[in-house]
Amino acid sequence: MGRLDIGLGLLTTQTPPGGDPAAVYEAVPAIGAAAERARFDAVWSSEHHVAEDGYLTAPLLALAAIAGVTSTIRLCSGVVLAPLWPPLRLAEEAVTLQLMSKGRLTLGLGLGYRTAEYGVHGVPRSKRGRRLEETVEVVRRLWAGETVDLDDERGRVPGLAVSPHPSTPIPVWLGGYAEPAVRRAARIGDGFLAGGGEPELVGRLLDQLDDEGPVHPGFQIGVQQTIIPEDGPVDPEVLRQGLLHSEETYAQWRDEEGGGTTLRALSGEPDAGGTVAKIVDRLTPVLSRLRRYEHVQLVCRLIHPGLDEAQSVALVEDAGERLLPALRARWEKLPEGPSESSR
């Protein structure tokens, strides 16, 4: 029988105009600790650069801060923009976090899409797909204790090695919204983190994943969904304004990049708000589509820009009392479809 894990995220630290970025960043450990108390299975951080609203630039540092105040919750990046990172540095930071957290890291990697981000890092955007795949290969070899000679457009760097090595394997998930991301995840990933969207969009991504047939045993699937509780401890209008800020930010980036599948998918889900009962009903088609898989995670985008620490913690605690039990109960009642675990 497939298990449903429920994650909290993505933590982005976005701060609307007039907000206090320092307070938003300071709240991250408290939100992570609240998520563990509320029995979330995982917490997810994200990464972007040159964003005017203070979008989180150091996702692994944020997870390290959460690791220091928790002991069981899984620490997941959704996603690290791997083409922007030197592979050795990424491998080292991941090992450090894995050891300090006693094996709780899931390293989610993705491409990113903004020309500005690639520009400030001096990385050619046109080669991002190849760089992502090379990074996955290199970090895995380094973690396995190999010495690696790196030779790419950045130059030749011989004798790369990591010490110490991970005490337990670090799962590498790949995230994305478009067909190439699905194919890449099935071919080289330990899991796939799908962006949010309507059940039809999620279904198309999962259909393609089934067709590709993931290579790695125990392949896991995560799906993000936006949530606006209308019967919770925070004024839903405050949450909607925060979601609007995110959507306007993505719209601006979409205009900068000329649109595309990825940015269209970032506009959130329709009717994200409602009572707990309505939210569970809305998510049921997505859960039904996931029910036949062995390893599944629903990532709840519950923390929106503009919240202070008390509001964020209250939302998480309320979700632990009402939303999570309701989602898990609904999951158990859904019929299991044909297993895809052997595909």
pLDDT digits 0-9 by tens, 308-317: 999 999 999 9
| pLDDT score for 341 | 43
Residue type, 337: G
Q: Is 71 left (phi over 0), alpha (psi -120 to 50) or beta?
A: alpha
Token code pair at residue 223:
């799906």
Contacts of 326-333 with CB under 8 Å at 24 or more apart are 326/276, 326/277, 326/280, 327/4, 327/6, 327/280, 327/283, 327/287, 327/298, 328/4, 328/6, 330/280, 330/283, 330/284, 330/287, 331/4, 331/287, 331/291
Query: With contact defined as beta carbons under 8 Å apart, do 11 and 43 qualify?
Result: yes
342, pLDDT greater than 50: no
DSSP 8-state symbol, 335 = P
6, pLDDT greater than 50: yes
How many other C-beta atoms are found inside a 10 Å radius of the C-beta of residue 322? 18
Which residue reads 């009572």 in tokens? Answer: 275
- Rounded-to-integer distance, Cα 26 and Cα 34, Å: 14
Token code pair at residue 212:
């590709």
285, pLDDT greater than 60: yes
338, pLDDT greater than 80: no
pLDDT in tens, 226-279: 999 999 999 999 999 999 999 999 899 988 888 655 545 555 455 789 999 999
Token code pair at residue 97:
């976090």
Domain ranges in the chain are 3-333
Cis omega before residue 164 (within 30°)?
Answer: yes
Which residue reads 């994650």 in tokens? Answer: 7
* C-alpha dihedral, 74 to 79 to 83 to 87, nearest 10°: -10
Mean pLDDT over residues 286-297, rounded? 93
Three-class SS of 257-302 = HCCCHHHHHCCCCCCCEECHHHHHHHHHHHHHHHCCCCEEEEEEEC
205, pLDDT greater than 50: yes
Q: What percent of the chain has pLDDT over 70?
A: 94
SS3 content of the chain, % helix, strand, coil (to 5): 45, 20, 35
- Rounded-to-integer distance, Cα 118 and Cα 166, Å: 29
74-77 vs 105-110, strand pairing mode? parallel
pLDDT in tens, 43-87: 999 999 999 999 999 999 999 999 999 999 999 999 999 999 999
Instruction: Note the Cα 149 to chain centre separation in Å.
Output: 30
pLDDT in tens, 106-141: 999 999 989 999 999 999 999 999 999 999 999 999
Radius of gyration over every alpha carbon of the chain, rounded to an integer in angstroms? 19
pLDDT in tens, 138-161: 999 999 999 999 987 777 889 999
343, pLDDT greater than 50: no
The CATH label, of 3.90.180.10, 1.20.1630.10, 3.30.910.20, 3.20.20.30, for the domain at 3-333 is 3.20.20.30
HSE at residue 15, side-chain half, CA atoms within 13 A, is: 17
Output the DSSP codes for 38-49. TT-SEEEE----
Q: What is the mean pLDDT of the chain?
A: 93
Token code pair at residue 137:
């290969």
339, pLDDT greater than 60: no
DSSP 8-state symbol, 161 = -
